[in-house]
Structures are given as C-alpha cells and as structure tokens.
Structure 1
Amino acid sequence: MLAKGLAMGVDNRQIQTAVLADPESDDPVVCPTDSDELDEFREEFADTTFWCGILLGGCGGQLTTRRGNVRVSHFAHFPDPDELLPECGRRSRGVASADHLYVRTATQTWLRRQGHAPRYRYIDRDDAPVGSLVEIELDGYTLLLHMDPATPPDWDAAQAGDIILGPGVQVDHRTLARRGHVNRIKFVSEGNQRVMMLGTELPYVGTDWDFELADCTVDEHGRLITPVVTRAEAARAAAERAPVPRPRSEKTEGPVQIGTLTRLINTAVQKKEIAAVRQLRDTAQLQIPRCESQALEHLQRAIDRASGLIDEQDHARRRLFAQLDEAVRHAHVYKVTTLTPHVRRFVQGDAPITPQETGILNAADTFLRDAREQAARRQRAAEERRVAVAREREAHHAAKAEEHKGRREAEAQERKARNRARGQVQHIAGRLRREPLSAEQQKLLVDELVCAAKEAGDRLSEAEQQKVDEWVARIVAPAEEPETAGNASPAAQPQLDAIMEPAKLPERLVPAVAAVRGALKKAARERTVTSWNRLEQQLGSALPSLTSNERVQVLVQVDRSAADDKPLLSSLLAAGDPHFAYQYYRHVLGALGLDAPDDDEDLRDVVEADAEQVFTDWRLC
C-alpha cells in the first residue's frame, strides 16, 4: 500500500538520468522508458544503486526505478519522511541532462590511444551551471566543450586550445567565416546509454556528421582534426596557389571620365555587386595609359580593391563547386541537397558558369532526382513494413488481452471462492462461540472449520487463523476436568474491551493521542501512507507500547476530535498496513458510529477511498 500511496502523488517528478554507486559519481545511466526494457535494466543493475548526482545538478538523494502506467518509466526519489535532504530542482529532466558526463565515457579511451592523458573538469559557476562547460586538459592544451546554448562561447578568450559546440549552441556567420570551421558534438540514445557523434560545420555548407570518432585526432597544438577539417584546409591551400584570372580586354566605347569611373568602382565594391565590379575593373584597366599623377593613383587603388573582391568571389566559387562535385561523387545526399541551391544563388549576377560548372550542376540535379526516387521507394517499403508490424502487434496484443482476461476471470473466481470460505470460517467460529454445543457437535463443526480455513488460505487474517488453531487445539486436547470442560464456554476468546468515552480515557494515553494526530497530519500533507510500526519509530518515547485495545482507543480519540467535515486520519494506517485494516479499523469505524463492510475486499476499497480523500482535503489546507 505504500507504493500505491506514492503513486497517488508523493513524488511526481520524471527523472530519466542518474549516476551509479554514489552521489558524486560521474558515471551516468539512462532509465529505459519502456516497461519491458525496464525489467532487463533492473536485472542488469541489480547490485548497483542509483543517485540524483551532484554533477547532474541534483540533490544527492538516492533514486529508484519506477514503472510508468500513465507516464513513461523513470527514476524517482526515495521517500524522505524526515525531510533531511534539500528540495530537488531536477523536475522533468530528459536524457540529455547527463550528456556532459557521457563526454568522458566517449572520449577517454580514444584520447589515451593517441598518447594523451586527459583530465576532465565539469565547470560549475554562477554564469555557467554544472553541465554547461566541460574541459578536457591535454598536455598544456584544453578542449572546451560548450553543452548549453544559454552559455555562449568566448572565442577571443580561448587561446590555449579548441572550442567544440554542443547541440543548439550557435556561432555567428562572421566568426564561422573567420575561423573557417567549427567542430560540434551531439548525443543519440542506444539502449540505456548515450553515444557521442562528432561533426564539422563549414561556412555556407552546414554540419557534416558522416565520419567516425576513430577517424579524428587531436594534433600537437590541441586542435581537434576531423576528416572534414583536413579536406577543407587542403582545398584552401590549393585555392591560394591557383593563378588569378587575367583581366578581360574590352574596347571602351567613347571617352570615359576617370573620376566618375573610380567612384563607380568604389560604389560597386561597397555594395558587392560582383558583375558590375568585374565590368568596371576591366574598363578601368584599359584607361590606365590615359591617367597620370593623382588620378592614376586613385584609379589604381580602386582597381586593387575590385580585384581583391573578385579574387575572394572566385575563390569561394571554386570551393563551392569543388565541394558540390565531391558530395555528388561520394553520394552525400544531405550535402548535395544543401549545396545545390546555395551554388545557384551564389552564381546569380556573377560571370556565366563554365561548361565544367554546368556539368557539376547537371550531375547534382540527376543525383538528387535519383535520391528522391530511392527515398520514395524506401518510404513505401517502410510503410508496408510498418503496417505489417502493426497488424502483427495488434494480433499479439489481442491474444495477450484474451489470455489476460481469462487469467483475471480465473483469479476472480478463485478470490470469490476463498472469500466465501473465509465467510464460512467466520460463520462457524461464531456458532462455536455463541451456541451451546455437545462435544460431538463441536468436533464436527471444528472439522468443517479446518476445511474452510484451508480453502480460504491467505485470505484469512492472522487473528482469524489464530482462532481456528485455538479451536483445533481445544478439541484435540484431553479434558482434565470434565465438569469444567463441559461448563466452559467457547466464547472465552480474546476480545477488544469496550471503547472508552473521552472522559474515561486513561491519563497516560492523552499525550499519545496528540503525538499520533500530529504524525498522521504530517503524513496527510506529504500525501503518504504509514503503519503503526513506522509511527513507533518516528515518535519514539512519545508513543509508548500499547495494547490492541489501547491503539483503537487512541485512534478513536484522534478522529473524534477532528473537524466533522474531515475524513478519518486513521485511514492512512489502514491503507499502509492491510493487517491493521482488518484487525483494528473496523473497530475504529464502529466506535465512531460508521458502517464497516464485512467483506475484506469491500473494506479495502473503502480504505483506499478514505485515504485519497484525506490527501485531497489536506492538500487544500
């Protein structure tokens, strides 16, 4: 019943990540959301404890796994009735909340194979909460991983190593163009683990994730080198060695004003109108023989600026076409899809495309058309598989539901039979206690009592089984004094004394009433059930050892002194201890003038409803 009390709302947090062994561990784990996978997870980690880790931003409390009925399966905190732990701020934290701890798991072996001795530090400060930044120290250099978009990188301050961006961390276009590339990481789930993926983002291209961690290295300057970085630097070096195109020679039509031409070139360069800059530069180069002195100096300066812009444009154009050609040859669908429209926009308003460039664009268009057709075929095949799997799953679920229904009906029939047998036990015991019977009649009834008790099985309470045993012992024991045995009444069984009125309550029980009332109110506010043993541990000397009758008297006074519109606080004890419900709670209800069902199943429903009403009413207080 305690677990049911928790499900009623004591702990409504959904926590998907934890650490193993102790609160300060940096060994993370993810709770499976599927109920079937949760069973395998519990078996795998049967000898390990789970904690709300400090490095996860948690409270340091111990966690347990909880199977989800309405919600997904998740970690949940152990109850803290003494309120010793601080309030935990990790509410509805997903699997990504532990990604900064998986950095060590993913990179440690890889770095050691390269001869490095990595040391990991999880930065925790006011402007960067734990999990935002992870430092990997390598022989005097640092790899700084930015995991949180809310903590922007300081590109100018990072001089000792390399900066790597996590999911969602943005880099502005100017910084990306100046650096030439930025490396990124992201994590994907595989079972109850998170797997790290590396990628490299290039200007105008996007991020390439199509390589393995084993293909990457950290060089002697502490820089992360991926295959994309290697290709980009090689292409940049080749482009710098390429010859600059010779200017076009065109005849000028009519006289040209040198000052006007200079201003036109400067304006076109400022607006980056590439086609106009090309034409004006070629015209200006033809006018150089006509110029001298200061006019020649101004015109030459304008020509140099125009040539610089054209060189940058030509360099970027060659790089983009080379990347597009390589993406087509290596069948990288995402790259081709991203680069093709960008290349077309880039060459608009510029010099006409060459035959070689036309061939690259045509090859890209053909590749994309084929890729779309293949994707459509794969989608149709996947949809057919999905439909087939759905049908199979539906048939399986129908069979399981039918099997479960049959099992439930059988269990219900068995439970009814045991309840009937239990009722028969109570009826026979009542006859033995009330009716004057001969020894032979008593023996026959006791035989029937034993058969009924055997059929009732675990549906009998401890007190009911004790009564059966007493009657069996009484029948089989030899009568020492026939006269006494004949006159003795079977009604002399242990019974609860009459419930005392408040004025007659012993003075020594008055403090116990106040202590129990306070403990039950605290449990109601915390939306949890309890038991008498737990009350004794919690209250200590304030709750002395009491007889069964004294316990009932105390609980009657607790609920009798409550407000008339409040439900019974003692229902929290009955919900937390079914044996208490059957043995005492009926007496409490009877003493308060309330009806108690004879059937234990009905009584259990009443107890659960009363406990839920207690939680509802005390939440509003």
Structure 2
Amino acid sequence: MGVDNRQIQTAVLADPESDDPVVCPTDADELDEFREEFSGTTFWCGILLGGCGGQLLTRRGNVRVSHFAHFPDPDGVLPSCGRRSRGVASADHLYVRAATQGWLRGQGHTPRYRYIDRDDAPVGSLVEIVLSGHTLLLHMDRTMPPDWDAAEADDIILGPGVQIDHRTLARRGYVNRVRFVSEGNQRVMMLGTELPHVGTDWDFELADCTVDEHGRLITPVVTRLRAARADEGQTPLPRPRGEAVEGPVQIGALTRLIDTAVREKETGAVRQLRDAAELQVHRCEGQALEHLQRAIDHANDWIGQQDRTRRRFFTRLDEAVRHSHVFEVSTLTPQIRRFILRDEVTTPQETGILDAADTLLGEARRLAAQERRKAEARRAAQVQEREARRAAQAEEREALRATQAEERRARRAAEAQEREAQLVAQAQERKARNRARGQVQSITGRLRREELSANEQKQLIEDLVLAAKEAGDLLSADEQRKVDKWTEKLTEKSGQDAAGKASPAVKPQQDKITIPAELPAHLASTAAAVRGALKKAARGRTTTSWDRLEHQLGSALPPLSSTERIQILVQIDRPTAGDEPLLSSLLAAGDPHFACQYYRHVLAALGLDAPDDDEDLRDVVEADAEQVFTDRRFR
C-alpha cells in the first residue's frame, strides 16, 4: 500500500463538493479528540480547495505533525493530487461564508457566495458575496494584484499579504482587509482597515461593522475617517511624476515622506517623491539643501537597487519561459507581480515577458486540468468497477445464504417429520402397553373371582404372561407380584402333572438351555447393538426390557429365541470384571419375567451364583442396576 507524504492540513466534510471546511489538529492528543468529535463523518480533498476530490483519512503524527492523507485505491496506488504541504490558510476562502453569513442576515441581507475558478484566478483566489444587487469581492491570493479599475465589485476587501500600492491607497483613502486565526479545528475571521502611512487597525469586532446601501463595508475606522474628512477636508497627496508643484512644499515633510516610502518599499511613491524633491533643489540652500540632497541620493540608491533586482527577476523569468520550466515560471511570476505592484511603470519588453509567462502558465493549467479530468474519469471507472464487483459478491453471498436457508428448512422439516413419527410410535406403544395392562388387571380379576377349569385357568395364565410382557414397566409392583404369583402356580401345576405321569424311578428334570462357548457370527452385530443400548440406558439411569430394545433398535434387533438372547447377554458381560455389576442387570431389573426365567442362565454361564429365591434375586438385580448407574455415569 502506498504512503501519502503530502502533509494536507485542511479538508471539507461529507462530500467533495462541500464548502464546509475543517482543519486537522497537528498535536497527536488533539487529533484523538478531533476523531471522536467527527466520528461517522467523512473527510474529502475538496474541489473548492483545489483538490482532487478524493477521500481523506487522518494520520497521527509521531515524527511529523498530524495531517490528512489520501486513501489509496484497492491496488494501493495513491491518487494524483497537486495539494502538497497545504497549510491551514489554504481553506480560508471557505471560512468566509461561515464567518459572515449570520452577520449579513442580521442586517437584512440574503448573501450568496461564489468561489471564482478561472485559469487566471485559481479556486480560492476570489470570493464574491452578492447582496441585493451589490457585490463584495474578497481578494485572497497575494500572488494576484487586484485590478482596481476593471473590478466590477462595489467594494474590494484584501486578504492576508495582498499588496496595494501607495498611490492607490492614498487615492482611495483606505482599504479594508481580512485575515484568519486558528481556534481549535476552526478558523476565525478578523476585519481591519489600512490607512496611508498609518498601517492596519484590527482593533474592532465584526459585529461593529455594517454594509451600507452602496454595497461598501463600513468599519469603525472608516466611520471615523469619513467624519474627519467631512470636518477637515482631504489631506494633500503627492503630485504625479513630472507635474509642477503648486505652492510651497515643506522640505522636512518631503524628506520624511521619502524615508517612509523607502521603508515601506513603495517604489512608485519613491520615484514620485524623488522627482518632487529634485524640483525643490533650486529653492534650497544650506542645511535644508543638504537634507534634501541626502534624501534624493538615498532614494536614487534604493531605486537603483530595485531596478537591478527587477532586471534579474525578468532575466530569470525570460529564461524559464523560453525553456518551458513551468515550476520556475509559476514561482517567479507571483514574486515579480508583487515586486512591480509597488511600481506601476513597466517596459514593453517586461510586459511581453509577463504575457508569455501567463500564456505558458495558462497552457500548463489547461493540461493539468485535462490530467485531472482523466484522473477523475479513471477513479470513476475504478469506483464503478469496485461497485460492480461488490454487487456481484453481494449477489453470490445472498444466493449462498438462500441455499443454506433452504437446506436448513429442509433439514428442520425432516427432523420434525422424524420427531412426529417417533411421537406417533411412542403414543401407539403407550396405548398398546396400557391396553395390555388393562388385560393384566382383567385376567387377574377373573382368576381371583371365577371358578375355572384347569385348562381355562392355564390358558388365562398364559394370556396373563403375554399381556404382562407387553405392558412391561407400566405394571405396578403389586400387579407384577400378582402376575408372578399366577405364573408360579402355573409352573407348579405343570410340574406336579409331569411328576404324576412320570415313572417313580425317574427324577424330574428342569428344562435346560445349552449355551455354546462362542457366539455365532451372525449375532455379533446384534450383540454390539444391544451392548450400545444398555450403555445408553446406564448413562440415562434407566432400566429397559426386550420390548423396549426391539422398539429402540428396530431392524438391528431381529426376532431371537430365548437361547440366542442369553447367548448375546453372556457375550456382552463376559469382559466384565468379577467385582463389577453386569450390564444385563438393567434388562433383568426392567423385565421381572426375564429375571425369573432367563437371568439365572446368564449368571450360570458366566460362573456366577444366583439366589434360589426369586425375591432375593430381584433384590440382587436392583442393587446391581444401581451400581451400574453409578459406575457408568461418567463413562
């Protein structure tokens, strides 16, 4: 990125065409307060400041003073701009409006401001204030002498350093001046009035001044001067060169006027007074003649020195014009014009050199204006390109956001549909289990109340076992005990019947479930799924049942025989340490029927002892389940 070394102290606010100026504080701490005051406001290299119209930023000074600097373009290239090391005074012409608008409106005027921008008068040189058909012209550029005779303004006010020759000042009697002083990041306007051989009086306020009906600025000094002239008449002025002196001339006053004109470097006045003094030589004698001759010699020496300086200036300017050294011509021309401003006599050769210089500078300004317009066109094209690129990027981002939003909506819809399906399935399961619980209550009531045959009782008890299995943990402890009681009666009845039919020599044998040493390969994935479900239940501190596992695992848990279920649980708990509870205890705790019928086989296959009494077994299972909850809490 380029570094802007142009130390610009002034800018305008809000946009490049603005006439609202601001000054950048040079102190680093003051710059911090300035940034806070103007936060959210943009700064520009204003067109009315003679700038390029580019945006500016504030740069904190460490070695140099703080100042404004140009924003580089996206490629890091700084804009072409002729403003360099422009001090706070470069925006004084814009502060004219801020200083005078309220003051003029208070006098009943409606002022309009125009900042003249011509090839011969760069922007900021001349400021016109139009007031109801009258015009005040502020001449702000010290390098451009005012044309008192050609000016169409009702009153001309001179800016800082703008010179007026002694003869014009004496003829006019006074001239009003304006200057600006800094207060914080603003510039305050002061008015003054210059009188011949007196200087400029700044000792009054803007509120003490008015604009009369002829469009002239009236200050307290002008008011006093008009009153004095009305009472005493006009003070005699020095006669033009070659004109005979009428009446007696005071030699002492004449020598003092010559010394004053030399001291103030008024070349034209010195020539005029010298000529007047030479006309008085024949009238003088003695000490008066000696004083007069000394004043004439002093005037001649000073005029000779000025003539030599003048010749050197014009020689250098002529050489620079012939070699088209624009910078040197632009530097010498205002110096020469300020120099000859005090001496109105110019030779045709000097006039030709100045005309040639003006032509060269005019052409240079025209070419510079062309380059400025080209640069502005390039910047406009770059801005348009950046805007198009940003618009395309914004469109891409919007399309991406729309796609992502659509995907999120689809995902949320799918999740909602899945949740809805789960809720429906859970509702159906709860309904079926509630219906099964009602069947359990109905069957146990019939078994208790009705006189049933052995076959009817057996069939009802088998139906009771199936209904209890489907109801699962919805059964209360009392309902589960009733189911277990009738199940045990059915088992005892079957055992007695079998014993009565068997040979007395043969001892009754219980059904046995043979557990192979290795789990069949086709059950490996099923064992892994059941193991995961049991671990999840342990972390959630809940028991489970085969019905719940079937609903939870779906196709991952196919229909299994009792032997296969026991094989899977043995495979799951085989790695369990001897002092740790079994994961399958969660299944036994949640399914009492499973605990009584099959859990003993799991314990036996793992080489563990089980209580003979079913109530004692349930106590062991519940204790093991609680221990599983504790051990698996943080796994």
TM-score range, shorter chain: 0.3 to 0.5
TM-score (normalizing by structure 2): 0.38
TM-score (normalizing by structure 1): 0.39
Higher RCO, 1 vs 2 (CA within 8 Å, ≥6 residues apart) = 1
Q: Which has the larger radius of gyration?
A: 2
